[in-house]
Amino acid sequence: MTQVRSPATDGQTAGHGEGPDHPKAAIGPNAVLQLIQALDAAGLQPAAAEIFDRAAATEWLAHPPSAMVDERPVAAIHQTVRKLLPPAQATAILEDAGRRTGDYILANRIPKFAQVVLKLMPAKIAARMLTSAISAHSWTFAGSGRFSAKAGKTVTFEIANNPLCAGEHADHQVCVWHASVFQRLFCELVSPYTRVSETACGARGDAACRFVADWTTIPDAANIYAKHRSGPITSPSETMSAH
């Protein structure tokens, strides 16, 4: 994302991986780059070599992508992480990769002034504006999937035909990376009380992967945050998946 735009509507839909000068079946490089960083930080270099080999993307370990890339090997990498690593470890790695992606966006894609403005706004209004910005740049993380968002008391994101879990079958939600990216951005720019839950998943047979960002479930959270809008975030963030 490069800027925060004012919201036009409560419900917004983005086309299938569409973006300026980018092929429809492409996805942003952070889906790979930050995953490599997460595996490296966890000391899982041997596992990373096997994961990328199985996904036929070994060259990316030595030369990580820096531009939009074909979504298919990216999907293979994410799915191989879930197949090869123990479930808890795979979740932790994908969560970390999502947080790192959010950190990259905050450091490089959303202007600092816009971030200051969002942090000064009531959470509901900040959420609408952030949702608009995310929707405008959904082609960078949704690939060929169809992205939609609806902002209200909470925010709901959906990715139909999510390429990162295409062809995958599971009895639970698996899109930890997306949930973690959304949570990092909302915790920083909307409310540190935000929790993002994946409530439906294409890998489980649902029509779309659905993520709900909710900053209202802690009693009086909105009032507490309004009084300390510019204060430090003292509570750790945690990405949750609904099972």
Domain total of the chain: 1
- pLDDT by residue (tens digit) across 64-74? 999 999 999 99
> What confidence score (pLDDT) does residue 121 get?
96
d(CA 234, CA 158): 30
Q: Is residue 193 in some structural domain?
A: yes
Q: Please give the residue range of the domain that contains residue 44.
A: 11-241
Q: Helix 71-84 vs helix 30-41: angle between axes, to the nearest 10 degrees?
A: 30
The β-bridge partners of 240 are: 197
What are φ and ψ of residue 7, in 5° steps?
Answer: -70, 140
Domain harbouring 54, CATH code: 3.90.1520.10
- pLDDT by residue (tens digit) across 5-48? 333 334 665 544 444 444 458 999 999 999 999 999 999 999 99
Q: Is residue 4 in some structural domain?
A: no
Residue 198, C-beta contacts closer than 8 angstroms, at least 6 positions apart = 173, 175, 176, 178, 179, 209, 210, 211, 241, 242
- pLDDT band for position 112 (cuts 50, 70, 90): very high
Mean pLDDT of the chain: 87
Q: Is residue 2 in some structural domain?
A: no
Q: Is residue 1 in some structural domain?
A: no
**Higher confidence at residue 173 or residue 219?**
173
